Structure 1
Amino acid sequence: MISIVKDRAVDTFKVQKNKIKLGLIANEFYDLSLGRMGGFGVAIRQIADLFNQKSELEVEPVFITGGLSETGGQTEVIAHGTRLLILPKDKHQRRQLLKNEKFDIVLTMDYRSNYRPIIDSLPRVPVIIWVHDPRTPYDMKRIESTRIPGQGDNVPQGLKPVNCTSLAEIVEKSNSPFSKRPIVFAQPAAYYEEKVVGTYGVQPSEITLLPNIIEHIIDEPQTIVKSEKPSVVFLARLDPYKRPWLFAELATYFPEVDFIFMGKNHFQGLGAWEPDSLPSNVKMMGHIDGEEKIRLLSSAWVLVNTSIHEGLAISFLEALMCETPILSCVDSENVVSRYGVYVGRWDGSGREALPKFVEGLQRLLDDKNLRERLANQGKKWVKETHNKSQFIESFQYLCQQVGVIAEKS
């Protein structure tokens, strides 16, 4: 069952105490000093930014990382103006540190096995599992088919299967008389529901729609001006399962178009993609954030995504908010087929998909009316769906479900 929360006032929460302390568990936080840069990091940062900026909501966010352990006694840093706890390796010290924080509720960015020690250390704290990239065994088999051109049958880096089934044990334990800890599930896209059981081994009785927070990235009214010379962008990590080589090869078919890579590689050596001998119309921008990212997305004619697998990619939502349609071989929640051109599914290296990518990009570049119609429709959908108000409404509902806040008076 999917629960959609509507028509609730969202100015403040009537809380059972002065402020809710919210733990945000993730492995990335969109901070170069803290490791990987990706959509998970963007999404979790957006939540912290929202509550930090809207103090009247009386929610205090605290980041908790499952991907780092303390060194030299440092158990805390600041990321995006938010405290980030770096947990001790020692189980007893970790439990005591988390206990001292007195969290009212935690929200996880999807679920990964290294979250378990954190959740186990908080046996009575309610948990929201925010499903973002559920990978069933079928999905993981497809991802493992990825191969980098020129590297033969060598297995690329970053394709290791993600086993999330330990979440089922956490849910079972939380239902015990000792814990009685509520665990609820949320998702930003309705199509995830069919993947939950295969990914986590859990069948929730309800999954609440909890959107991403995207509409604020453009200050409106703001006129978006597309580049005079056609430009297309790639916004993702340059890791193998994103198959960035397809974007580079696509550039050879369009020498009069600027192809702009926004993202960095997190791997090196055999099993990583090295961007060498690139066409002259390809620009490597590395990691881009803030106003520069929005400027490049807004001026681009098309966002190209070549991944073998995606959830509802944050980059899709950002591009549409910047009035840029999408060309891709993944079609999560039918977003690409609704607001761009979907070229079909292609496994392995993906090179067989190049004719379809060429055909789709040519269509978008040649038809300004089509681009504008898709972009305008996509922007309208993002503004209406993935916004602060919808997020707050759903978050309030989830908190009510687990008894953290009272009904709004």
Structure 2
Amino acid sequence: MKKIKVGLIIDEYFGGAGTAFGGYGFLARRYIAKYLPNEHIQVDVLLGKSKSHYALEHHIIDNIDVYRLPRRKWFAKRWLKKQNYDIYLSIELAYRYILELDIDKKLIFWIQDPRPMYEWDEINTVTLFPETSYYNQKLYDFIHKIYLENRIKFITQGFFLNQKAKDLYKLADETEITYLPNPVDIDYNFDLMTHKKENMIIFLGRIESVKRGWLFCEIAKKMPEYQFYMLGQTFREADKNSVIMAPYINGNIPNLHFPGHVDGIEKENFLKNAKILVNTSIHEALPISFLEALAYGTLLVSNRNPENLTSTFGIHVGDVLGDGFDKVELYVNAIRHLMENDEHRLALGKQAIEYVKSVHNVEKCINDLRTLIHKEVKK
């Protein structure tokens, strides 16, 4: 039986081929490309355009073929025709180049973080270091166009994102959007009741404007009795981010640590040993970091409450707009409440682990995605 060829359209691949270390790239590299291929499905990663007008850029990363296409459409179109992908899969959609060239193929569009203008209005309340907007009406109009042509199948990582996607892409209210949660690796040998966690609070993510990492640092200053670890580094607009963060990195805050980008066993150990993950972002969808933390019974404190996960497995401090300095005490009080009540924290942690096991386990999520791919290719 001929393998189904899936072209995974993404603009970053978690450090692969010189790309940034972001959430979409992490999902693409560590989950889709790692687990989706089998004897019936082949996955190639398509990162957009190469530097050359004529030449293809090819990498092999973790035994997966990763391509950037020639910039000249004629050469790119000829290569796509030869590849003859059966279907495309995208995590949101960063560019329309490939789908404009391969006009007969369908796209499975995984809704991860749709940002209508009202979301940008909130993001733009940050003044200390404003986030550069990537709002792209032409791209959203293109998605609407192929939706009208019945070339797109929408799936979503969270029910709360569906209305935002309908608003952004001008979809009819009755548009079918299939629920397919993000998978997360689970250590089934981890026992929250016997593992001795530390008085550690972590931040996990890129250090960028939208994440408002400065608030995590301000929280640490007010809670010297606990150890705070900021896990991540800057990528986009690194110079501006570094100026903002330099006083904290170089300052005299003994309980605030900056390990930088962590991965693999090192990251797992932080997640296992921390009691709380703090998220201070002005905007989030449903970060994989939330799921990774919950998989180890590490609770959430955040001003964002995707799928009600923060309020269910931690404390939702409410909306915090702008730079957020005036709301630092909300995070401090929430952290203190959880840290001083071990019995409550452990009970929530056990529930969190069971939730991740039942909803976000890799085998179920990947099998559901494979089934959907087979179904859409046969249509």
Q: TM-score, normalised by structure 1?
A: 0.85
Specify the alignment match of 1:89 in structure 2: 71
Q: Residues 50 and 56 of structure 2 are in contact (CA less than 8 Å); yes or no, is this contact kept in structure 1?
A: no
For CA contacts below 8 A with separation 6 or more, give which structure has more relative contact order: 1
In terms of fraction of residues, the more helix-rich structure is 2
Q: Residues 23 and 105 of structure 1 are in contact (CA less than 8 Å); yes or no, is this contact kept in structure 2?
A: yes
Specify the alignment match of 2:145 in structure 1: 172
Distance 1:381 1:291, change over 3 A: same
Specify the alignment match of 2:296 in structure 1: 322
1:118 deviates by 1.2
Distance 1:283 1:71, change over 3 A: farther
Distance 1:304 1:295, change over 3 A: same
1:308 deviates by 0.4
Distance 1:268 1:188, change over 3 A: closer
Structure 1: distance between partners of 2:271 and 2:364: 24
Specify the alignment match of 2:132 in structure 1: 159
Structure 1: distance between partners of 2:146 and 2:311: 41
The answer to whether structure 1 residue 249 and structure 2 residue 236 are counterparts is no
Identity %: 29
Structure 2: distance between partners of 1:33 and 1:247: 31
SS of residue paired to 1:274:
helix
The answer to whether structure 1 residue 275 and structure 2 residue 257 are counterparts is no
Deviations 1:115-147 (A, max 9, x none): x01111221111101000011111011111112
Specify the alignment match of 1:193 in structure 2: 162
The answer to whether structure 1 residue 210 and structure 2 residue 151 are counterparts is no
Deviations 1:68-109 (A, max 9, x none): 523494511122321111111111111122222111111111
Specify the alignment match of 2:274 in structure 1: 300
Specify the alignment match of 1:369 in structure 2: 343
1:166 deviates by 2.8
The answer to whether structure 1 residue 139 and structure 2 residue 119 are counterparts is yes
Structure 2: distance between partners of 1:186 and 1:321: 23
Structure 1: distance between partners of 2:147 and 2:116: 23
The correspondence for 1:117, drawn from 83, 97, 107, is 97
Specify the alignment match of 2:359 in structure 1: 385
Specify the alignment match of 1:51 in structure 2: 36
Structure 1: distance between partners of 2:345 and 2:78: 55
The correspondence for 2:260, drawn from 266, 286, 301, is 286
Deviations 1:170-195 (A, max 9, x none): 4435755xxxx631000011111111
Structure 2: distance between partners of 1:302 and 1:22: 38
Size of the aligned set, in residue pairs, is: 370
SS of residue paired to 1:260:
strand
The answer to whether structure 1 residue 127 and structure 2 residue 96 are counterparts is no
Q: Residues 51 and 71 of structure 2 are in contact (CA less than 8 Å); yes or no, is this contact kept in structure 1?
A: yes
Structure 1: distance between partners of 2:299 and 2:257: 20
Q: Residues 190 and 296 of structure 2 are in contact (CA less than 8 Å); yes or no, is this contact kept in structure 1?
A: no
The answer to whether structure 1 residue 79 and structure 2 residue 48 are counterparts is no
Structure 1: distance between partners of 2:374 and 2:209: 41
Deviations 1:285-313 (A, max 9, x none): 11111111111111001000000000011
Structure 2: distance between partners of 1:229 and 1:174: 49
Q: Residues 31 and 79 of structure 1 are in contact (CA less than 8 Å); yes or no, is this contact kept in structure 2?
A: no
Specify the alignment match of 1:183 in structure 2: 152
- Which deviates the most, 374-383 or 197-206? 197-206
Amino acid in the other structure paired with 1:27: D
Structure 2: distance between partners of 1:205 and 1:120: 23
Structure 1: distance between partners of 2:364 and 2:338: 32
Structure 2: distance between partners of 1:372 and 1:142: 34
Distance 1:401 1:167, change over 3 A: farther
Q: TM-score, normalised by structure 2?
A: 0.91
Structure 2: distance between partners of 1:289 and 1:358: 27
1:262 deviates by 0.8
Distance 1:243 1:60, change over 3 A: same
Unaligned runs of 5+ in 1: 1-16, 149-154
Amino acid in the other structure paired with 1:47: I
Distance 1:64 1:230, change over 3 A: same
The correspondence for 1:70, drawn from 36, 51, 72, is 51
Distance 1:144 1:44, change over 3 A: same
Structure 2: distance between partners of 1:388 and 1:405: 24
Unaligned runs of 5+ in 2: none
SS of residue paired to 2:265:
helix
- Which deviates the most, 243-252 or 167-176? 167-176
Specify the alignment match of 2:15 in structure 1: 31
